[in-house]
Amino acid sequence: MKPRVVITGMGWVTPLGDDVDAVWARLLRGDSGVGRISRFDARAFSTDFASEVRSLRLEDYLPSSAAEHDHAGLNTRFALGAAARAWAQAGLGPPGSGRINRRRLGIYLGSGEGSLDFDNFVASNLAGWREDTRSVDAVAWARAAYARMDARREIEQEPNMPLAHVASAFGAGGPAYNCLTACAASTQAIGEATEIIRRGDADMMIAGGAHTMIHPLGVTGFIRLTAVSSKRDDPLRACSPFDQTRSGFVMGEGGGMLILETLDHARARGAQPLAEIVGYGSSADAYRITDIQPQGLGAQHSMREALDEAGIDPLATGNDGRPPVHYISAHGTGTKENDAVETRAIKAVFRDNAPRVPVSSVKSMLGHLIAAAGAVELITCVQAIKTGIVPPTINLRTPDPECDLDYIPNQPRDLNASGGVDVCLSNSFGFGGQNDTLIVRRFRE
């Protein structure tokens, strides 16, 4: 029999803060982290707003070793901060401490490419570049960019650097993996970390993701793809998943990390499980690179795989008459195609039960954290199980007829009177057709 895998620690660094309970309270209030971009002058961009992490000091997370990571990029800083919070909640003491076998402690991260010196140079010279492109001497510009680059920081642009820093900070000498599957990355990382534990290659894994693309090149790319909202006149309402007026997602950033371990390992060290991971599914659309398969066949497959592994029949009802899944954390980006396709996929999998399952998108408040999104959204699922309350989809005022499920508009919903929340499903769909689904359940002996 495969070992049970439980979550014993969670941490995040988000545009709404970094304390799990405090951020959860803000999500239930419907607070938004969206504002004007402060990291560079974005006034000339058609989208000049994002959901930024406004402040982060490594000393607050790693008081004794922050200096060792002072050249790290934002991706890595988000990963370290979230991992430190998760490590502490898991009862493991200061980072790097804890009586555990370090060769049986692994890491699986979903983290995107870093982008440091070149972007900083572009940002600092953006005004002149914008005013008269014809006057720019490309050779001189490139030489100036080269002169400003810091050799130590250049290596930090590699996508596996967050993993390397986290391994160093927490002494993780076991299996080490990094995946770069766009918006599905941290969900995939958590699912694959669970499988590593189940097959016996590790007792404990630090799993999750970290990412930022709020820099000139990142913002430009998504604008050119017409994927981001351009509602400059009202940024707080710019991200409106499932609403008929939705026009794209809002870029966000941050990190989300979880401590996973076998139930036996958790018991042996006296840790209290927060929830249990019971299902994981992964698929590819195998369709056009820039388009979603219209019926969401890949999304359907990842959900069904996760449900099958969890032993859950999506068409059944429980003894209380409720569907077997009590909350779905939707990918819910706020783009026209994504929201409609995800709706079709959920309806295809759950059929008559689909309208009875509460669904919401916290991206409406946090923005899209790209590679970190899935981990952060799984943490909200565990919080829903803990509290019996599910978060809202804010800015949902004119429902799209194509998006006709119960998307919990604008106000949280307390489900305690109807039995609480025992089982949650979390979807993440990545650009290019990557689909990953996790199912988490209330822990019971």
- Which position among 326, 331, 381, 424 bears the catalytic label? 331
Closest by CA to 347, choosing from 314, 320, 316, is 314
Catalytic-role residue among 165, 179, 183, 301: 183
User: What is the Cα–Cα distance from 47 to 53, expressed in whole angstroms?
Assistant: 18
Residues forming a β-bridge with 386: none
What are the residues whose beta carbons fall under 8 Å from the beta carbon of 374, sequence distance 6 or more? 110, 183, 184, 185, 186, 187, 188, 190, 209, 256, 426, 428, 436, 438
Measured CA to CA, the distance from residue 289 to residue 74 in angstroms comes to 28
Q: Could you confirm whether 403 is annotated as catalytic?
A: no
Question: Do residues 107 and 166 make contact, with C-beta atoms less than 8 angstroms apart?
Answer: yes
Q: Which candidate in 211, 215, 265, 368 is catalytic? A: 368
> Is 179 a catalytic site residue?
no
Helix residue ranges, H only, 74-208: 74-89, 117-124, 126-131, 138-148, 151-154, 161-170, 185-198
Do 62 and 169 meet the contact criterion of CB atoms below 8 Å apart? yes
Q: What are φ and ψ of residue 106, in 5° steps?
A: -115, 180
Q: Are 3 and 262 in contact (CB under 8 A)?
A: yes
Q: What are phi and psi of 17, to 5 degrees?
A: 130, -175
Q: Are 86 and 206 in contact (CB under 8 A)?
A: yes
Residue 5's H or E segment, with its range, is strand 5-13
Alpha-carbon separation of residue 368 from 52, 241, 253, 327 (angstroms): 10, 11, 7, 20
Rounded Cα–Cα distance for residues 139 and 145 (Å): 10
Active-site annotation, residues? 183, 331, 368
